[in-house]
Amino acid sequence: MKQTISDTDLTKLVKETNNNEALIELINRHSGIYIDMVKRFGFKSLSLSQVGDIIDEKDYNIYKAAIDYDENRAKFSTHLATKTKYICLTEKTKNKNKKPQVTYEEVDFFLESKDNSPEEYCMLSDYFSKVMNIILNKENEKTKNIFLQRYFGGSLNKLKPWSKVSKEVGLSSQGCINIHNRTIKKIQKKLENERIKL
């Protein structure tokens, strides 16, 4: 797909012919906007697993944005940013009566840089330090591996998809998610019992 093709023409190809090459080009061009909006609107109100799921659904959500894009109302990048913000805020509203298990307020560096070791990451956030210290010192090897693969095993600015984490640790994707969420709940309870404010 040539870079000279406009976003509007790409969205038309996706809508009219379900052109996969056009969709891939839109994803390549606009993944950064999507991730930035998830960071901006998801960090302070959603749990790790919720934000991770929204990031994992990036390609599909860009596809949906292409399908309902109206070139007469805004640029595609603006449309996608608005849609992504709406996704985050809708997820927050659905869970407004539930306390987030772990928020990104203190751990936004998860998606900022992958150059640091897990030990260096722990130094960057008091809260994340507590979480990772518990995981690295108290949990079994499989649980440690799930967390390390998920948050430190991906490429720059991306959480490693659950499908790839599962291959690394030898469990199903749902099995990895269940262990992840169960561990987070257990750690949250431990920290709350110690009167550590999340």
For 66-70, 159-163, 194-198, which range has the lowest pLDDT when averaged over its residues? 194-198
Q: Is residue 71 part of a domain?
A: yes
What is the percentage of the chain residues whose pLDDT exceeds 90? 29
Which of 64, 94, 124 is the C-terminal boundary of a domain?
Answer: 94
58 & 114 share domain: no
Statement: residue 24 has pLDDT above 70? yes
- The number of folded domains in the chain is 2
Is the dihedral angle over the CA atoms 90, 96, 33, 181 positive or is it negative?
negative
Whole-number Å distance between alpha carbons of 13 and 20 = 9
Q: Is residue 118 part of a domain?
A: yes
Rounded mean pLDDT, 169-196: 79
Rounded mean pLDDT, 72-101: 79
**pLDDT class of 68 with cuts at 50, 70, 90:** very high
Which of 94, 117, 147 is the C-terminal boundary of a domain?
Answer: 94
Whole-number Å distance between alpha carbons of 104 and 24 = 28
What is the percentage of the chain residues whose pLDDT exceeds 70? 69
Whole-number Å distance between alpha carbons of 6 and 151 = 34
CATH of the domain at 78: 1.10.1740
Q: Is residue 100 part of a domain?
A: no
More confident residue, 48 or 104: 48
**pLDDT class of 104 with cuts at 50, 70, 90:** very low
Domain that holds residue 160: 108-193
Q: Is residue 2 part of a domain?
A: no
CATH of the domain at 119: 1.10.10
Q: Is residue 150 part of a domain?
A: yes
Neighbours of 186 (CB within 10 A): 13
123 & 57 share domain: no
